[in-house]
Amino acid sequence: MTDPVPEPPSDDLVARLRAAGCVFAEEEAGLLRAEAEGPCLEALVRRRAAGEPLEQVLGWAEFCGLRIRVEPGVFVPRRRTELVVREALGALPREAPVAVDLCCGSGAVGAALLHAVPGLDLHAADVDPCAVGCARRNLPPDRVHRGDLFHALPGHLRRRVHAVAANTPYVPTEAIATMPPEARDHEPRVTLDGGADGLDVARRVAAAAPDWLAPGGVLVVETSRRQAPLLAEVYAAHGLTPRVVTSEDLDATVVVGTRCQSSAQSSAQSSAQSSA
């Protein structure tokens, strides 16, 4: 009879994370150990065990292969939002591309676009001062603007933007209570709450986008599969040609709206008439 194989010694850190409800306790323990040790590690573990998002505890999140700085009180970039980046990149011309990261949060989308397109004329905007401060650490600070959606942007971008990438809040108000505590307790409600059907902010973006998009430019908004058909109708009502894109590997859905040449000319004529 052979002696039984001894079990490896128990890992207190993994056990504490697992007891706190961390599904990937082993992986998280490795990341936390790589970030700190001793009393500093203990402080990080306590924050994570208390329910703070891992990315806010670490101070960074991986997004499109980049390490994006994330701070407490700032929306954590999700991997599914990489679909927004893919679709926005596909709309950028080779010469003098211009893009906007709207509702930018940490600036993850903008950072990914800049990394993929050197020389991109990128601007980002968010209404939350904490998000703006964080985004200015991930992006050129002078290109991050604080304000309400397009109102934050410099006026010279009107009708020049080739891609507007917007990760608008799209959780219906009543559904926020069912979200994981990591999100509902540690991320700003303004980044989650999309109103009764989740599309309040997306509607405002779609209504204003045609005045900022260049002919052939696109608006890319992340949403859910259930909401996508309704959002596509909103796009069409504002002169954008909608296209719903889904990704199984990212479990993501976006609605892409293209501004056609004729609508651009019509908008320019309307603006000229109103200013006359």
Task: Give yes or no: residues 42 and 168 share one domain.
Answer: no
Q: Give a yes or no: residue 87 inside a domain.
A: yes
Task: Give yes or no: residues 216 and 174 share one domain.
Answer: yes
The tens digit of pLDDT for each residue in 171-230 reads: 889 888 888 887 887 887 888 878 999 999 999 999 999 999 999 999 999 999 999 999
Q: Give a yes or no: residue 55 inside a domain.
A: yes
Q: What is the CATH number of the domain that holds 150?
A: 3.40.50.150
> What separation in angstroms does the CA of 276 have from each of 93, 192, 214, 269, 273?
33, 41, 22, 11, 5
* Residue closest to 122 by CA, chosen among 164, 91, 152: 164
Task: Give yes or no: residues 255 and 226 share one domain.
Answer: yes
Q: Give a yes or no: residue 93 inside a domain.
A: yes
- In the predicted model, is pLDDT for residue 21 greater than 60? yes
Task: Give yes or no: residues 163 and 237 share one domain.
Answer: yes
Percent of the chain with pLDDT over 70: 91
Rounded mean pLDDT, 132-141: 97
Task: Give yes or no: residues 140 and 258 share one domain.
Answer: yes
- In the predicted model, is pLDDT for residue 4 greater than 60? no
Q: Give a yes or no: residue 11 inside a domain.
A: no
Q: What's the domain range around 32?
A: 24-69
- In the predicted model, is pLDDT for residue 10 greater than 50? no
Task: Give yes or no: residues 55 and 98 share one domain.
Answer: no
**Residue where one domain finishes, among candidates 34, 69, 104:** 69
The tens digit of pLDDT for each residue in 26-63 reads: 999 999 999 888 899 999 999 999 888 999 999 999 99
Task: Give yes or no: residues 117 and 56 share one domain.
Answer: no
- Rounded mean pLDDT of the chain? 89
Task: Give yes or no: residues 215 and 270 share one domain.
Answer: yes
Q: Give a yes or no: residue 6 inside a domain.
A: no
**Whole-angstrom Cα distance, residue 177 to residue 266?**
44
**Residue where one domain finishes, among candidates 69, 90, 124:** 69
Longest CA–CA span in the chain (Å) reads 98
Going by pLDDT thresholds of 50, 70 and 90, the confidence category of residue 132 is very high
Going by pLDDT thresholds of 50, 70 and 90, the confidence category of residue 272 is very low
For 101-146, the three-class secondary structure string (H helix, E strand, C coil) is: EECCCCCHHHHHHHHHCCCCEEEEEECCHHHHHHHHHHCCHHHEEE
Task: Give yes or no: residues 65 and 83 share one domain.
Answer: no
**Whole-angstrom Cα distance, residue 90 to residue 70?**
27
10 Å CB burial of residue 188 (0-12, 13-18, 19+) is middle
Contact 48, 30 (CB under 8 A): no
* Residue closest to 170 by CA, chosen among 150, 191, 187: 191
pTM, two decimals, is 0.85
**Whole-angstrom Cα distance, residue 45 to residue 142?**
35
10 Å CB burial of residue 139 (0-12, 13-18, 19+) is buried
**What is the number of domains present in the chain?**
2
Q: Angle CA(63)–CA(139)–CA(71) in degrees, nearest 5?
A: 65
The residue that leads in pLDDT, 75 or 8, is: 75
**Residue where one domain finishes, among candidates 44, 69, 94:** 69
Contact 134, 190 (CB under 8 A): no
Task: Give yes or no: residues 93 and 48 share one domain.
Answer: no
Highest mean pLDDT among 20-24, 189-193, 250-254: 250-254
Q: Give a yes or no: residue 88 inside a domain.
A: yes
**Whole-angstrom Cα distance, residue 196 to residue 2?**
65
Q: Give a yes or no: residue 110 inside a domain.
A: yes
Going by pLDDT thresholds of 50, 70 and 90, the confidence category of residue 262 is low
Task: Give yes or no: residues 150 and 184 share one domain.
Answer: yes
Q: Give a yes or no: residue 8 inside a domain.
A: no
pLDDT of residue 270: 44
pLDDT of residue 260: 85
Q: How many residues are there in the chain?
A: 276
Task: Give yes or no: residues 40 and 135 share one domain.
Answer: no
